[in-house]
Structure 1
Amino acid sequence: MKTIQKIIFPVALLGLLSACQNTDDPNPRVELEATMVEDLAAPNDVIDRSTGEILEENPFQYFSLEQNAVVNENQDWDLAFKGTTIRVNSDRNVNAAVVTGIFEEISTVPTDAIFSTDTASTFAIPTGSGNGWYNYNPATFTVTPIPGRVILVQTAAGNYSKIEILSYYKGNPPTDQIDPMTNPSAHYTFRYVLQPDGSASF
């Protein structure tokens, strides 16, 4: 009886060790970290407020989420910024959706998110106060991100990203301390998470 116990024990232990090895994930999930972009300057055109005439036309600033860099228009950019307008690269099938949720809690692309690309008459990321990512306060002449608005983007490379715009003013001042006369506008501060493996999880 003792002999049998001595034989079974090592075999059972070997089986247990083998089972543990088989349950180990050879490709453990890598925790994604948010990338912070600060003071991306994208000034709007200079406009005569009395006539609406454009006095000086400024270019869009083209940004690659994959490279985390401002790039040229002829490169693989994902988003283009100018004033409060954010374009997507429709030539490269970049799609975007604006959803409501807490940035940290969005762990996967919602199934009901409606993605679209820019057309000649519409933007995938809507413009106008209350329509997309920002509100405009005519009493204080300030632009502030709408709390709980998250922009989802499928990049030119086909990967998903979630974006939260934190500030429209240089230096990311507190909302209640923004002075449009002294705080330069159209300086985007935002954070984003990019899933590089093509999946819809963050």
Structure 2
Amino acid sequence: MNTIQKLSISTFALFIIMSSCKKDEVIVKEAVKTETVKDLAADPTSVSTSGQPTSTGKYTFYSFKNGIIANTDSATLKWDVAFKATTILTNGGTSGIGQGGASVLSGIFDEVKTIPSTSTFVQDSKTAYAIPTGSGKGWYNYDGANNLISPIAGKVLLIKTADGKYAKMEILSYYKGSPVSPTSSSVSRYFTFRYVYQPDGTQLFN
């Protein structure tokens, strides 16, 4: 058998082995992530030496995939939402360099299996946030008489992430420790929320 024939047989054998390996490859799909976050600080206030409440004015940045993100990464695609007091930013529009946006849906969190075809995602702008602020406009109601913030039951926040993936989120509490019946003395600006994050780019949450 000459050298050319040997090379041809070896090449063919290698092709068969490589083809077999490719057939045996298993593509592992990243699972949908379901998580509840407790007491995420959203620029909580403290009392200064003068006796006046103060805060840092800084946002807490969060990635549905990786958790809390350092403030130094605020100008990156590493975060999806950011929290400060009652304001929630998305990583898009005037708030970030990502594809982020949001749509506020009325519905039961566990029953939202996919993003409705009627949902429209908007981005933060100079005049309004994708997740509206103000009592009754977005995720909360404000009780002025008792100075209390209460999440609106049946409000699901549909989020488009910085890299164009999707998540659904529900705010459960605005107070540290998630008291069932918060009072004016409850420590505020601590978010407890749950979410489902779909990492494969589809709009399905199961």
Q: TM-score, normalised by structure 1?
A: 0.76
Look up the match of 1:192.
Answer: 195
Residues 57-112 of structure 1 deviation map (CA, whole Å, 9 limit, x = unaligned): 42111111121223331342111110000111112120111100000000000111
**Post-superposition shift, 1:180?**
2.2
> Which amino acid in 1 is paired with 2:126?
A
- Give 3-state SS (helix, strand or coil) of 2:110's partner: helix
C-alpha separation in 1, matches of 2:29 and 2:153: 30
Q: Could you tell me how far apart the structure 2 residues matched to 1:79 and 1:134 are?
A: 17
Q: 1: CA distance between counterparts of 2:80 and 2:28?
A: 29
Letter in 2 for 1:194: Y
Contact residue 45 and residue 58 of structure 1 kept, 8 A: no
Letter in 1 for 2:80: D
Aligned to 1:23: none
Q: CA deviation at 1:43?
A: 2.3
Between the two proteins, the alignment pairs up a number of residues equal to: 169
Q: Deviations along 1:10-50, whole A, 9 cap, x unmatched?
A: xxxxxxxxxxxxxxxx989987452011100112678xxxx
Q: Distance in 1 between matches of 2:141 and 2:110?
A: 22
Partner of 2:122: 116
Partner of 1:74: 75
Q: Answer whether contact 1:44 1:58 (CA < 8 A) is retained.
A: no
Gaps of at least 5 residues in structure 1 are 1-25, 47-53
Q: Structure 1 residues 145 and 124, CA, compared in 2 at 3 Å: closer, same or farther?
A: same
Identity %: 41
Q: Over the residues paired in the alignment, what is the CA RMSD in angstroms?
A: 2.6
**C-alpha deviation, 1:55, in angstroms:** 6.0
The residue number in structure 2 matching 1:58 is: 57
- Give 2:105's aligned residue: 99
TM-score (norm 2): 0.74
Residue 80 of structure 1: SS of its match in structure 2?
strand
